[in-house]
Homo-oligomer: A and B are copies of this chain.
Amino acid sequence: MSFSPLVERLMETLRVLPGVGPKTAQRMAMHLLERDRDGGRRLAEVLDTALEQVGHCQRCRTLTEETVCRLCESPRRDDGVLCVVESPADQLAIEEAGGFTGRYFVLHGHLSPLDGIGPEDIGLALLEERIAEGQVQELILATNPTVEGEATAHYIAAQVAGQGVTLSRLAYGVPMGGELEYVDGGTLSRAFNGRLPFSALR
């Protein structure tokens, strides 16, 4: 036996959500059908609207339902510094950390030739146009510290070279509040090689 076909189909479809296996999907379907039908209807509606209306900012490519996102519209940000990130979630993490006052450019991924993801898929033509506008003085390549993120940063660096833009990359090192014992070897040797004079640290 199983649930009715439509209930089974709902359980299956809930598994499009990341981290949701068969047991969780069943619990979610039962919760919505048995205890929160209004919530379920609201979810269906908002999901539909969001997928319909949320696209990419024409300027920085972040997720937004506007043509140009609020951060790109803001007159208070520094046009001279552009921070390239892989995802809107990375952008949010940097904003929440605070301190950065420049603008962003969101790749929505990284170069991955094996998966068929090339420069055009991560918006590098638009990035090139942005640089050509001439306002950007520093480009911070804040792609992930992974093999693909590094490769993407190198590709962009090569593309931008010779246009008078300073390139930078986030510092590597031990995470704040972490314990050395639990830091992986690669990070630790990077932190050793990149050690700073004590007086340079505030």
Contact = CB atoms under 8 A, between A and B. Distances in A.
Interface residues of A, number: 56
B30 A88 contact: yes
Nearest to A109: B34
- For A13, A28, A53, which residue has the most chain B Cβ atoms within 10 angstroms? A13
A4 B64 contact: yes
A57 to B, nearest CB: 9
Nearest to A16: B39
Contacts of A13: 39, 42-43, 46-47
A28 B33 contact: no
A87 interface: yes
A50 interface: yes
Contact of A51 (B37, B47, B70): B37
Interface of A: 1-7, 9-10, 13-14, 16-19, 24, 26-34, 36-37, 39-51, 53-54, 63-66, 69-71, 87-89, 92, 95-96, 108
